[in-house]
Amino acid sequence: MALMRALLAILFLLAAAPGRAQQDTTVYMTLEQAPKSLFPGAEIERKDVSSTHEFKEKLKARLGRVTPTVWEPSYSTFKATQDNKTVGYAVVVDEIGKVNPFTLIVAATPDFRVRDVAVMVYREPRGGEITQKRFLAQFKGKGNRDPILLDRDIVGISGATLSVIGANRAVHKALSVLELVYR
């Protein structure tokens, strides 16, 4: 009984502790750095797109079965050109992993297939394996018609399942946004 009391007290005191979620936040790239990192040497043209009701409805229709956990009010998108030729597009999106959102930048080729994915901000102490190169490399070449689903065309990470599912949603959403804006 004494043990149970001690456990309960510890549990509730920890729950009552002031919020310190910011301490778990790791910023890997800022909004300025991210597109340059994905398209080195290219000229970057930024375009902020407001997620109007009409845009959101189109996005929903394009996403189909995929239901994002975050609906951004606007999207920072980028067009990369080199020698007057479009080499790709990119967009910044957020999705929830376990309980907090993480921020990804997804770069696409001119035919809207994933060229690169990078984590810009990760806000949780768990599930951080999704920032690993070996995980993100799986998305390369994926298009919006691919399943991009755990255990189908994406290999999961034991212990980071929710973050993996979140990353899958984020890539789907990013490709859909880019298609809506640039196609």
Partner 1 sequence: MRRLLSFCTVLFILSWAAEHTYAQSPPAAGQSSTQPPDPSTAQPADQSKAQPPDQNAPADPAAAQPPDQSRPAPQTPGVRTGGVKLGDTVTVGGYGSVRYEANTLEEPKPSGFDFRRFVLTTDATPNDRLQAYIEIEFERLAQIEVERAVDRFDEGVKFAEELEGGNGGEISMEQMWGQFKFSDPFSVRFGMILPPVGRFNMNHDDDRWDIPRRSLVDRNVPILPVKAAWSELGIGALGSVPVGKSGQLSYQGYLVNGAVLDFTVEKVVEAEEPDEPAIIKLASEVSLGRGPVNGEGGVRAGTWRVGYSPTLTTDFGFSGYIGGYVPEFLEGDERTAESREVEERITSIGIDGLWKYGAFALEGEYIHTDFGDTDRVINGFIDSVTGSTGIAPLAGAEGTEAEFAIKDLTPSRQGFWLEGRYRFWREKWKNNFLGKGFDNPGLIGVVRYERVTLHDAIEEVAIENGEIERGDAETLRQERTTLGLAYRPLQSVVFSVAVEFNRRLEGSVLLFPRGFPERRYTSILAGMAFGF
> Judged by CB, which is closer to partner 1: 122, or 182?
122
Q: How far apart are CA 53 and CA 50, in angstroms?
A: 9
Q: Counting contacts by CB under 8 A, is residue 170 touching partner 1?
A: no
Q: Count the Cβ atoms, other than its own, within 10 Å of residue 34.
A: 24
> Is residue 50 near partner 1 by the rule CB under 8 A?
no
- Pairing relation of β-strands 85-96 and 101-108? antiparallel
CA atoms within 13 A on the CB side of 84: 0
Q: Kindly tell me which residue out of 78, 89, 122, 182 binds partner 1, with binding defined by CB under 8 A.
A: 122
Cα gap 64→36, rounded to integer Å: 31
Q: Which residue matches tokens 């995929």? A: 66
Query: Residue 76 CB, nearest distance to partner 1 (Å)?
Result: 8
CB of 17 to partner 1, least distance (A): 6
Q: Which is nearer to partner 1, 2 or 183 (CB)?
A: 2
Could you say which of 55, 58, 62, 100 contacts partner 1 (CB under 8 A)?
100
Least Cβ distance, residue 48 to partner 1 (angstroms): 11
